């Protein structure tokens, strides 16, 4: 029987959709930043142009609430 993909950090990281977000700028692309809900605040993003975290599978998998993790830091569980 096929099993669903494991909830590993690597799989979760690959699910991150920050690179498609309007708040995600070139500076973050250059430094390969992503996965802010686990890794904490961005070193170069500072402005809110929208957040698409709630369209990402990670908050659902990990019961995270909120968004803008790039600005506010690591996610807290509900
Ligand atoms: S919740 Fe946001 S920061 Fe976390 S993996 Fe998804 S898109 Fe990236
Ligand atoms: S954490 Fe949210 S606002 Fe920040 S880049 Fe990712 S999707 Fe966009």
Ligand 1 contacts CB of residue 17 (under 6 A): yes
pLDDT at 6: 74
Which of 12, 17, 23, 66 should be mutated for ligand 2, with most atoms under 8 A from CB? 23
User: Tell me, what's the pLDDT at 7?
Assistant: 78
Low-confidence ranges of the chain (pLDDT < 50): none
Would you call 64 helix, strand, or coil by DSSP?
strand
Question: What does the alpha-carbon distance between residue 11 and residue 30 come to, in Å, rounded to a whole number?
Answer: 22
Rg (alpha carbons) of the chain, rounded to whole number:
13
Residue nearest to atom 2 of ligand 1 (CA): 53
Looking at residue 61, what is its pLDDT?
94
Give every CB contact of residue 77 below 8 A, 6+ residues apart in sequence.
Answer: 62, 63, 64
Q: Which pTM was predicted? A: 0.91
Hey, which of 19, 56, 61 would you mutate to test ligand 1's pocket, going by the most ligand atoms within 8 Å of its Cβ?
Answer: 56
Q: Which atom of ligand 1 is nearest to the CA of 57?
A: 6
């Amino acid at each position: 029987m096929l099993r669903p993909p494991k909830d590993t950090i690597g799989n979760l990281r690959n699910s991150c959709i920050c690179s498609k977000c309007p708040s995600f700028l070139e500076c973050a692309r250059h430094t390969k930043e992503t996965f802010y809900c686990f890794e904490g605040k961005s070193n170069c993003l500072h402005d809110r142009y929208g957040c698409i975290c709630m369209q990402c599978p990670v908050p659902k998998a990990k019961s995270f609430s909120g968004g803008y993790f790039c600005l506010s830091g690591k996610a807290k569980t509900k």
